[in-house]
Amino acid sequence: MVEFFSYGCVHCKNFDPQIERWTEGLPEDVRFKRAPVAFSASWGLLAKAYHAAERLDILEANHQRLFSALHDAGLALNTEDAVVQFFDGHGTDGRSFRRALRDPAVEEALAEDGALARRYGIRAVPTIVVDGRYRIDDPSLSRQQILQVADALIAQAREARTL
């Protein structure tokens, strides 16, 4: 399953704690992946930051911190320098983070996320895709209902695999 999100999206920030708790209870055969979307240049930079932090193995320590900086503290992380400064001293140094941002592997990961988003027709975030077939993006659903639908679809997909 894939959660499409952006650090720039307040709905994604508000959904993230529930997603975090929910993924802890997923069956072992269910893989969870986040895919940051780049619907704008600023969101593209935040998606790059996600992949750079992931490559440097500092994502877990900075994931909530990044959401909070943008939505609680109101930081404008819309330039490479601002993003590098944000990560400097938080699991890495600025020079290493800048190198990671510019790493071709980060660009490749962004391209893969973009292709995945196009394949699934992602137009808004947060959106969850289960089993590569079911997209959950109904804005009338509460966050809890989204996770209940995901649970039901996961169970359905797992059952179909055992038949």
Q: What pLDDT digit, counting tens, does each position of 43-94 carry?
A: 999 999 999 999 999 999 999 999 999 999 999 999 999 999 999 999 999 9
CB 37 within 8 A of CB 6: yes
> What residue segments make up the domains of the chain, in order of their start?
2-162
Check whether 163 has a pLDDT greater than 70.
no
What superfamily does domain 2-162 belong to in CATH?
Answer: Glutaredoxin (3.40.30.10)
pLDDT at 160: 87
- Identify whether the C-beta of residue 5 lies closer than 8 Å to the C-beta of residue 34: yes
CB atoms within 10 A of CB 133: 10
Per-residue pLDDT at 161: 82
Over residues 108-160, the pLDDT tens digits come to 999 999 999 999 999 999 999 999 999 999 989 999 999 999 999 999 999 88
Mean pLDDT, residues 85-105 taken together: 97
Give the pLDDT band (50/70/90) at residue 162: confident
Nearest-angstrom CA–CA distance, 113 and 10: 20
pTM across the whole model: 0.94
pLDDT at 21: 96
Q: How is residue 88 annotated by DSSP?
A: B
